[in-house]
């Protein structure tokens, strides 16, 4: 059968399915689409639409016909069914939307209410096509390469019923003021996410309609220059050789766990932190600032700061750098960076760290630093909860000990001694000492922990748990001693710790477990990963049998510890 005969046969079968009201779109797609695609390869037509959905208002049982055939076939079919409500072109090499004009000549344009030209390789706004659709309510031009919207867009879009306009993921750099006229007509939603629009390029008349604009102006896959020669971007920018060359990038500050893709071509600094509220980025600031400064001190070259999406970790670093370099507050620095890359979104933990960095005067000494600590202590007395994390304290302030606290957070400091807590620990319920420099737990301190319910001493250098520790903490429910150098657990744990529900001993040097472990009947979670066990201790089998079904979770895995420190890589 010849090419023309095959096309005629395909069209006839499609028409028959519609007349019979067959609603199986998938089967039509398979029967018509696949054969149509084979047919189109033998024709001389200049365009093949990869995927066109034609929605029929006069076929109640048939909502869509996906046709993978030539444009001429589509037009021929439309001459049979002239009332078209929606046109959807996706993932095609259409390039020129005017090629669809013959299709409009074959149908009643007044019935078309939706036009979707998505990922259709368009470089220009389809003005001529859109201007013929007077009843349009939804226009989707996302995922193309459109760089400019016509200045008089209100004259191009003649429909007064348009409520949604999707221009996301294009190459727009500005928005014309005439868009405000569309809002006045009834436009409710304008999506311009993932473009290259600078905030100062937004016309004043559009600002009153900001509620209707879904906006992340900047394409997050592309880096933006925040200050002279300092760029903020995502992993995509860090792998884009063309971008790195055009911007004369010589140094890359990577705030994630990725290995540098081009270690022989650029100088890298890698800060291995996760995008979690508990990650401490403040501890890396000085080294990061020095790395950035080393670039700016040179006559040429630029630095790219990136994480995964260029929104949280790397944004936190550059906001802190702007605060430090320009001597501005957190709020001012945030707006400066947001103005250049509006998709930034540091997590709440990082925001708290930035506010602290601003409040202490961006340095960990001096009058501003000390006065903020004193103010924090005084302001916390009323609620009995004291938070002094991230202050790099080398000793506990004496003013802490004149009050009775229920909760104290001293994590992420440089504390090597906590004996000062003796005088304020009798009412303590929750104590966080994680990420410090502790090597032991003083006996005179733990004897005052009778009411303590939660204790976190993770990420220290503690070598042993005192023999009478569990006897002195009879109310303890949650105990995190992970990431230390503990070699054994006292046998007394089973006699005195019948309230413990969560016990984390991961990343230590344990080689065995005391037999009394089987007496921990309240235990719900027991974490033992990354220790020095030769095999799983037998007491765990006993513990599982004594626990209620599905009540106890035991995490046991003997693997080596991983390096979480930052590093600098030179080409």
Place of tokens 């444009």: 71
| Residue 307 is among the residues annotated as catalytic for this protein | yes
First-to-final CA distance of the chain = 64
Nearest-angstrom CA–CA distance, 51 and 45: 16
Nearest-angstrom CA–CA distance, 422 and 433: 14
Joined together, the tokens standing for residue 217 give 């102006």
Nearest-angstrom CA–CA distance, 520 and 502: 10
Q: Which residues contact 567 (CB under 8 A, 6 or more apart)?
A: 269, 270, 272
Nearest-angstrom CA–CA distance, 11 and 128: 28
Judge contact between 39 and 14, C-beta under 8 A: no
Long-range pairs of 433-440 with CB within 8 A, sequence gap ≥ 24: 433/457, 433/460, 434/458, 434/459, 434/460, 434/480, 435/280, 435/411, 435/459, 435/460, 436/410, 436/411, 436/412, 436/460, 437/461, 438/462, 439/463, 440/464, 440/466
Environment class of 1 (CB within 10 Å of its CB; exposed 0-12, middle 13-18, buried 19+): exposed
Point out the catalytic residue in the list 307, 342, 424, 448: 307
Nearest-angstrom CA–CA distance, 408 and 386: 5
Q: Can you say whether the dihedral through the CA atoms of 489, 490, 494, 497 is positive or negative?
A: negative
Judge contact between 120 and 148, C-beta under 8 A: no
3-class secondary-structure state, position 545 = helix
Rg (Cα) of the chain, in Å, rounded? 33
Joined together, the tokens standing for residue 327 give 């001597």
Which residues does the annotation mark as catalytic?
A: 307
């Amino acid at each position: 059968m010849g090419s023309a005969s095959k096309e005629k046969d395909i069209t006839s079968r499609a028409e028959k399915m519609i007349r019979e009201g067959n609603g199986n779109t998938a089967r039509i797609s398979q029967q018509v689409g696949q054969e149509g695609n084979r047919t189109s390869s033998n024709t001389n037509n200049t365009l093949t639409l990869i995927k066109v959905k034609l929605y029929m208002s006069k076929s109640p049982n048939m909502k869509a016909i996906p046709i993978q055939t030539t444009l001429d076939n589509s037009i021929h079919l439309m001459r049979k069914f002239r009332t078209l409500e929606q046109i959807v072109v996706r993932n095609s090499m259409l390039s020129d939307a005017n090629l669809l004009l013959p299709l409009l000549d074959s149908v009643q344009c007044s019935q078309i209410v939706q036009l979707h030209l998505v990922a259709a390789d368009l470089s220009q706004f389809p003005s001529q096509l859109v201007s013929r659709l007077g009843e349009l309510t939804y226009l989707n031009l996302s995922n193309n390469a459109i760089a400019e919207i016509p200045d008089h867009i209100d004259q191009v879009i003649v429909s007064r019923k348009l409520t949604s306009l999707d221009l996301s993921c294009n190459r727009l750099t500005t928005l014309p003021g005439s868009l405000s006229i569309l809002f006045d007509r009834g436009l409710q939603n304008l999506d311009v996410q993932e473009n290259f629009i600078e905030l100062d390029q937004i016309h004043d008349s559009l600002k009153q309609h900001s509620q209707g604009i879904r906006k992340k102006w900047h394409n997050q896959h592309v880096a933006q220059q925040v200050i002279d020669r300092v760029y903020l971007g995502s992993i995509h920018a860090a792998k884009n050789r063309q971008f790195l060359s055009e911007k004369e990038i010589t140094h890359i500050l990577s705030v994630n766990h990725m290995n540098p893709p081009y270690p022989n071509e650029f100088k890298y600094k890698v800060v291995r932190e996760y995008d979690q509220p508990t990650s401490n980025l403040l501890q890396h600031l000085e080294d990061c600032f020095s790395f950035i400064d080393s670039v700016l001190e040179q006559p040429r070259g630029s630095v790219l700061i990136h994480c995964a999406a260029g929104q949280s970790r790397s944004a936190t670093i550059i906001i802190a750098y702007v605060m430090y370099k320009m001597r501005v507050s957190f709020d001012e620095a945030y707006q400066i960076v947001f103005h250049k890359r509006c998709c930034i979104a540091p997590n709440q933990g990082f925001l708290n760290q930035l506010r602290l960095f601003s409040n202490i005067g961006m340095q960990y000494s001096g009058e501003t630093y000390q006065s903020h600590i004193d103010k924090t202590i005084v302001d916390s007395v009323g609620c009995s909860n004291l938070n002094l994390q991230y202050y790099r304290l080398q000793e506990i302030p004496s003013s802490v000990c004149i009050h009775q606290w229920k909760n104290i957070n001293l994590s992420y400091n440089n504390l090597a001694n906590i004996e000062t807590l003796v005088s304020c620990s009798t009412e303590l319920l929750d104590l966080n000492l994680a990420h410090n420099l502790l090597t032991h737990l003083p006996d005179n301190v733990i004897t005052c922990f009778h009411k303590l319910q939660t204790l976190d001493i993770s990420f220290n250098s503690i070598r042993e748990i005192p023999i009478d520790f569990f006897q002195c903490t009879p109310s303890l429910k949650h105990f995190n001693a992970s990431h230390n150098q503990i070699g054994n657990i006292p046998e007394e744990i089973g006699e005195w710790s019948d309230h413990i529900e969560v016990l984390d001993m991961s990343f230590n040097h344990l080689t065995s477990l005391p037999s009394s472990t089987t007496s921990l009947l309240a235990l719900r979670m027991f974490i033992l990963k990354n220790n020095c066990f030769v095999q799983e201790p037998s007491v765990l089998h006993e513990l599982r049998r004594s626990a209620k079904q599905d009540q106890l979770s035991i995490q046991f895995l003997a693997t080596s510890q991983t390096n979480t420190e930052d590093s600098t890589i030179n080409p």
